[in-house]
Amino acid sequence: MTLSFSDMTEYAINKEITVSASAPSNIAIVKYWGKKGTQEPVNPSISFTLSKARTNTNISYLYNKESLSLHFLFEGKSKSSFLPKLEQLTEKLKHYLPFLNSGQLKIESTNSFPHSSGIASSASSMASIAKSLFEIQKQIKPDTNTENESFLISEMARLGSGSACRSTNQGWVMWGKTQLKKESNDRYGISINEDVHPLFNDIQDSILVIRNGAKAVSSTVGHQLMNNHPYREGRIKQANDNIKKLLTAFKDGDFINFAQVCEEEALSLHALMMSSSPAYTLMAPESLRAIKRIKKFREHQHVPITFTLDAGPNIHLIYPKKYSKIIVPFIKEHLEPLCENKEIIFDHISVK
Ligand code: DP6
């Protein structure tokens, strides 16, 4: 999927190009945990994109003959700590977007969600950057082939952050090769909305912000721990088995099996970190307390509610919208007190 680009057109020279794009964050049900090759996953994963948690990016590009200079502003302030990641990304994307060989690139991003929330921002930010950069390419070269645009943008986002390739589509997205889905592949995310029962079309994600600090271990380091992990092969098999179970639950509108996969994946992710070398415990005591309360509530009230976690202590509560009336009061009364600063973010799936 390389774009040919032989020379800068008259249009690009002396004219600043400005573009903007927005992308949602996503939360995985079957987790991507472990990499191979160029940021490809060792197992397939499935996630859904959020609605309110988004990154908005504005990029301006001015052509000159000098090698590429990069400026990055986050929420209006220069953020040099993100520059090495961006430099790596633009280096990898030169192959797709030759304008990145030279000129001045100014990237400005803002998140719609608080920094403290523990929502992964690398997925939404890399996805919005990939979208914006492709827009610049189209303005420089209006005859750019856009036939596979959405796959190409997802592929470029992946090179910034693996899970970002699941943030360039809306709703339920699968990334990683599995025999169960013909179009699936390791390079980019594909929409699987058509395989999903309506029960999962308005799924809610209420995020319990148990701790609002930075993560103790970055995902990138976490993925590396899988390289020599004693349970590596078992994990790859488990993820593939869970993809199969999840696709069946999606087809049947079966919340019980959906919840089983969801919780097994979340707890396995933490178990893998606890059995890595070095080992990490990323849950907080309140995370475990919340899990117990959620299970007890489900047992007593017979409502479809489940949970997942990312590589951190915060809990994502997942349930169909029509149960909000009974679930939200439970969250307020029994789970809110477990959250640092009583912070909960009520979000939901984004659909087209
Ligand atoms: C636990 O995509 O953040 O959230 O590819 O190194 O940027 P990099 O990692 P990242 O990993 C996400 C891991 C996860 C599970 C998931 O989203 O599938």
Closest ligand 1 atom number to CA of residue 126: 7
- pLDDT score recorded for residue 114: 78
Residue 13 — very low, low, confident or very high, per pLDDT cuts 50/70/90? low
Mean pLDDT over 141-155 rounds to: 93
Query: What is the Å distance from ligand 1's center to 142 Cα?
Result: 34
Phi, psi (deg, nearest 5) at residue 278? -70, 160
* CA pair distance 18, 33, nearest whole angstrom: 36
Q: How high does pLDDT run on average in the chain? A: 93
Mean pLDDT over 103-128 rounds to: 88
Q: What percent of the chain has pLDDT over 70?
A: 94
Q: Is 206 helix (H, G, I), strand (E, B) or coil?
A: strand
Encode pLDDT of 51-64 as tens digits. Answer: 999 999 999 999 99
Query: What is the Å distance from ligand 1's center to 223 Cα?
Result: 8
Closest ligand 1 atom number to CA of residue 39: 5
Encode pLDDT of 172-222 as tens digits. Answer: 999 999 999 999 999 999 999 999 999 999 999 999 999 987 677 888 889
